[in-house]
Amino acid sequence: MHETSVAESILSTILETAGRVNAQPVGATISCGQFNALNDEVMNFAFETAAAGTVCEGMTLTIRHVPLRATCRQCGTTFEFDIYRPVCRQCSSAEFVFKPDAPLLLETIEFKDGKE
């Protein structure tokens, strides 16, 4: 699962940041697109596994799935695309123009307050 690589990647960033600000990380938010999606369950498990034994152990990971916008080539409707049901909401056609899919991002890290 590529979730393992994602987990390792964010863990090293969080550890490095935590060292720099000298604080205990308690949560992080990551985001992904629709084509480039993460599986929540697999992602959480991969992160727990990677974080075990580090200061990141027990952190909560929030995964934000950013919608993908598509415009129907037949009727021009723009809507949130469901990749598992690829038909136009309006006219049921299946030809679209896509906006770029959201990248994998580490958006925020939350640290415990009062421990500077």
Partner 1 sequence: MKLSLNQKILSRNEEYAQKNRAFFAKHKVLCLNVISSPGAGKTTTLARTIRDMKDTLTIGVIEGDIKTDTDAQKIRAAGAEAVQIETKGACHLSAEQVHGVLKSIHADTKDVVFIENVGNLVCPSAFDLGEHKRVVILSIPEGDDKPVKYPGTFAGADVVLVNKIDLSDYIEFNLQRVLADICAVNPDAQIYQVSAATGEGMDAWYDWLCQQRQQITE
Give least dist CB 71 to Zn ion, A.
9
* Per CB under 5 A, 75 contacts Zn ion: yes
* Per CB under 8 A, 87 contacts partner 1: yes
Nearer to partner 1, 53 or 85 (CB): 85
3-state secondary structure (DSSP) of residue 100: coil
Spatial separation of the C-alpha atoms in residues 21 and 36, rounded to whole Å = 31
49 binds, among partner 1, Zn ion, none (CB under 5 to 8 A by kind): none
What does R_g of the chain's alpha carbons equal in angstroms? 18
**Bridge pairing between strands 60-65 and 96-98:** unpaired
- Rule CB under 8 A: choose which of 19, 21, 90, 91 binds partner 1: 21
Please, which residues bridge with residue 25 across strands? 111
Spatial separation of the C-alpha atoms in residues 20 and 40, rounded to whole Å = 28
* Per CB under 8 A, 66 contacts partner 1: no
Residue pair 108/29 in contact by the 8 Å Cβ criterion: yes
Give least dist CB 100 to Zn ion, A.
20
Residues that bind partner 1 (CB under 8 A): 1-2, 5-6, 9-10, 13, 17, 21, 23, 30, 34-37, 73, 83-84, 86-87, 94-97, 101, 103-111, 113
